[in-house]
Each structure stands twice: as C-alpha cells, then as structure tokens.
Amino acid sequence: MISQAVNNMNIKRSLCGSLLCAVASAALAAEPYPSTYKAPASPPTLIRHATVLTGTGARLDNADVLLADGLVRAVAAGLSAPDGAKVIDATGRWVTPGLIDVHSHMGVAAVPYTKSLDDANEDTDPVSAQVWAEHSIWPQDPAFATALAGGITTLQILPGSADLIGGRSVILKNVPAVTYQAMKLPDARYGVKMACGENPKGVFGSKHQAPSTRMGNVAGFRQAFIEAQTYQREWEKYQRDLAAYESEKGSKSGKGKEKDLQPPTPPKRNLKLETLVGVLKGETPVHVHCYRADEMATMLDLADEFNFRIAAFHHGVEAYKIADRLAEKGVCGALWADWWGFKLEAYDGIQENVAIVDRPANSCAMLHSDSAGTIQRLNQEAAKAMARGVHAGLNIPPERAIRWITSNPAKALGLSDRTGSLEVGKMGDLVVWNRDPFSVYARADLVFIDGALRFDRQHPREEPSSDFMLGQPGATEQP
C-alpha cells in the first residue's frame, strides 16, 4: 500500500541517503497487524480407500490421500504409508477439500448476538473504507467451533452491509486462537466490502442523510472513487518529485549545493482513500452485496468506469438473469440455495439460481452462508442447489457441485494456487465425511487444516472449547 511504503521510506531515507535504499527498506517493512498463524507440527497422514472429490472436477473411487508437512503430497490409489504415518481407513467414506465460506460475519457479529458483540457495521458514514473487519473479530466466538464441525477450514470475514463501502475483509484459518492474528491466513489479500440496494439507502435515509435513494448509492460510489483517483495522483506526483529530488541531490553531492535543496512534502495520509487506491490498482478484490440483476449490471458498469474488478456478487438472488454476463466478466456469484422474499429486492429468487449461474463456460458459482447457523451445513446448502438443478434437467454430479464450496471460493479469494482442491503441493485442508457429503445424513468425521487434525467427531473432548462456553450446559456435546 502507498502509505506503508512511503512512511517507511521517509523513515529510512535519512539512514540510507538514497531513494533506492529507501524503496528497498520499505519493501522489507513489516505489514501492520501481521499474521502470527503457524501450522502445528503433525505426523504424515494416509487416508485410504475413500471416494475422493478433488475439487478440480474429478471423482476418484477407492483412492488414497497422503498429507505430510502440512501439504497434500499425493492423491491416487494404492499409496504406501511413509514411516511414522498415521493411517486412516476411510472405506465407505468420502474425502473433499476443506470447505471455504466467502461470506461470514463470525467474530464481528458473534454468537450470542448481544449489542456488545455487534461490531460488523461502522454505519456512521456511507463510505467507511478505512475500517478493517479484523479489528472487530472476537476469536472466542463459539460459532467458529461449530463451523469447524461442519467442515469449514477457511473463511472470509466481512464487514456488514449498512454502508456503501463497509471496509476491509480478512481471510482466516478456522483454528482456535486467542488473537485474530493467530487465525489470519498469511499472505492472503484482503478484500473490500461494498453494498448496493436497500441496505445503505435505508440505513442512511432513515437518518435523513445521503444516500437515501438508489441513485444516491451510485453517486456515492462514484464520488468515493473520484476522490481516490485524486489521492492516487497526489502520491504518484510526490513519488516523482521525490525521485527528482534524490537525483538532483546526488548530482550536487560534494559541491556544497545539496543543502539548498528541499525535499517534497508527502500528502497527508487518508486511510479511507488508501483502501480505495488498492482497489483502483487491482491489489484489492471487491465483494459486493447486491440482489437485483439490474443493480449488479450497474455495479459492473461502475467497475468499468473506474477500471477495477469485482471478484464476486454476494447474495445475488437474481444472478440467474445475467449468468452469461457474469461469466464473461469473470465475476463469481456467491449465492444462497433458497433464501428469498425477506425484503422486496430479494423477492424474485428461484431455487435454480446457483445451477444456472454455474452453466456458462468460465462460470464461478458458489454457496455462501452469511449465517453462523447456515455455515454449519454448507454442504447441505450445496446439496439443495444441486437437487434443484437436477430437477430442472441439468447434469450436476457431486464432483461438479463440490467446487461450489471449495475451489470456486478459493478462486474468488485469490487463493486457487494454495487451497480449494486436493492437488499436490496445496494446503493439507480436507474433510473426511461419513458418507456422500451431499446427503442430508452426512457429517464431517475428521477435519484437517494444514495437515493437522483439528476436529474428530469421535473424540470431541480433545477439541478446544471457547472460554465463553466453558462451564455452560452442553458445551462438551457434539455440535
């Protein structure tokens, strides 16, 4: 980001005496609020004789998966166990990649939903791009553990949808921790949450503030990005002026004239605009809460106007109406299986929505939760969408549908090279299910994260519990 690099550059410049040294020092500067997550050491694990859905579109029957050093090391039939490996007989069971939820508010709107735990919306300004969801996360939210029992290994925590631009998201590993930094996936790009439609116009219209209409929403987006463009140009000019200053200073060094030169003054930092400049530069993916097809089309036009890319529309109850355009633009649809009708903009939903969005070439359909309850059954949400698609005459085998909750979310989060599928060299995140995961009777028996066993249904007392739940009735029962 501009601010981090330039601030560190200014600090180091006096020590280095040159722009080149300053830029190098800035590049090495630590990220603020860095991840401290480290995968625990674990022995190699060989899972044998399972039906494996790889997340790449393949189904392997009677296959084995080898995890070692936190990574997937092999997926094939008849693998040999390395020395010291734990061997699991998965005959009759299914193995999938760990499930990924791209839309969660766990930790920022934590169970049990008291006012003191409601930290999802900074609804004091329609553009709140300066806030970071990670700074609201309560790691002891009991919902993290129940989501783990549902096979969720990775999740994006988003701000809420009260604001036009609600702030920055964060991607977490679903592991017990005391701090959010110990859950934060290292080197994962954060995203920006935006919202169109009823929510922002209703929240601020009720306060007799702008926006109070949909045209006010779009005007607010445009003004915010115009200001970000100006801010970006100010920093680019400063960097050019600084380079010229350093060059002239170098040419006059030793001639007694360099003391007459004055370095340029950097622009004043603006956290809100820094985030939006990241969007304009293509560094920060955009996730948009949006229901209606016409409004999604408008948001695509907005992205074209300011030359940024939308990673996914979330909720997208009418996404089926523009499925071809979403695929053409490379925009994912993070959708529900059957939520609809709870407000007017969610009225024209159909249960075939996910299946239709999944049809075009280069499509990217996925299921998301937006709920601490639904996230526990994301596999069953996918099963409902799969069933409705099949009922409509579409061929959706399990090896295709599993991508809706594994590899496609990884794509939307920019993590396809690291997770979302069982391929050699990727993170050892996987779930062993007691049966076909698209069955209503399916349960996650074992959940591995980075090759370490994090949930074992047969030994629940060995799993850590939230301090909030200690001593509570039923705290040690199976979720």
pLDDT digits (tens, 9 = 90+) for 87-106: 999 999 999 999 999 999 99
Q: Please report the pLDDT score of residue 31 as a whole number.
A: 81
pLDDT-derived band of residue 166, with 50, 70 and 90 as boundaries? very high
Q: Please report the pLDDT score of residue 249 as a whole number.
A: 85
Cis peptide bond N-terminal to 479, omega within 30: no
Mean pLDDT across the chain: 91
Domain 98-214+272-420: CATH superfamily is Metal-dependent hydrolases (3.20.20.140)
Say which residues have a Cβ less than 8 Å from residue 237's Cβ, sequence separation at least 6: none
pLDDT digits (tens, 9 = 90+) for 256-313: 666 678 899 999 999 999 999 999 999 999 999 999 999 999 999 999 999 999 999 9
Say which residues have a Cβ less than 8 Å from residue 417's Cβ, sequence separation at least 6: 426
Q: Please report the pLDDT score of residue 478 as a whole number.
A: 43
pLDDT digits (tens, 9 = 90+) for 375-409: 999 999 999 999 999 999 999 999 999 999 999 99
Q: Please report the pLDDT score of residue 187 as a whole number.
A: 95
Q: Please report the pLDDT score of residue 461 as a whole number.
A: 65
pTM for this model (two decimals): 0.91
| For range 74-78, the mean pLDDT | 98
| For range 115-125, the mean pLDDT | 94
Q: Which residue has the higher pLDDT, 45 or 249?
A: 45
pLDDT digits (tens, 9 = 90+) for 439-464: 999 999 999 999 999 999 998 766 66
Q: Please report the pLDDT score of residue 27 as a whole number.
A: 37
Report whether 290 contacts 313 (CB < 8 A).
Answer: yes
Percent of the chain with pLDDT over 90: 84
Q: Please report the pLDDT score of residue 297 as a whole number.
A: 98
Report whether 333 contacts 287 (CB < 8 A).
Answer: no
In whole angstroms, give the CA distance from residue 87 to residue 64. 10
Say which residues have a Cβ less than 8 Å from residue 107's Cβ, sequence separation at least 6: 136, 137, 138, 139, 141, 143, 144, 157, 172, 180
Query: Distance from CA of residue 114 to its chain's centroid?
Result: 25
**Closest by CA position to 72, among listed 389, 355, 388, 418:** 418
What is the b/e burial string over 198-223, where b = at least 16 CB atoms within 10 angstroms of the residue's CB?
A: bbbbebbeeeeebbbebebbbebbee
| For range 31-53, the mean pLDDT | 96
In whole angstroms, give the CA distance from residue 77 to residue 66. 11
pLDDT-derived band of residue 165, with 50, 70 and 90 as boundaries? very high
Q: Which residue has the tokens 């695509």?
A: 300
| For range 113-125, the mean pLDDT | 93
Q: Is 456 exposed, middle or buried (0-12, 13-18, 19+ CB in 10 A)?
A: middle
Q: Please report the pLDDT score of residue 30 as a whole number.
A: 61
Q: Please report the pLDDT score of residue 157 as a whole number.
A: 98
Q: Please report the pLDDT score of residue 459 as a whole number.
A: 86
Residue ranges per domain, the chain?
Answer: 98-214+272-420
In this structure, the strands spanning 430-433 and 94-97 are antiparallel
Q: What are phi and psi of 326, to 5 degrees?
A: -60, -45
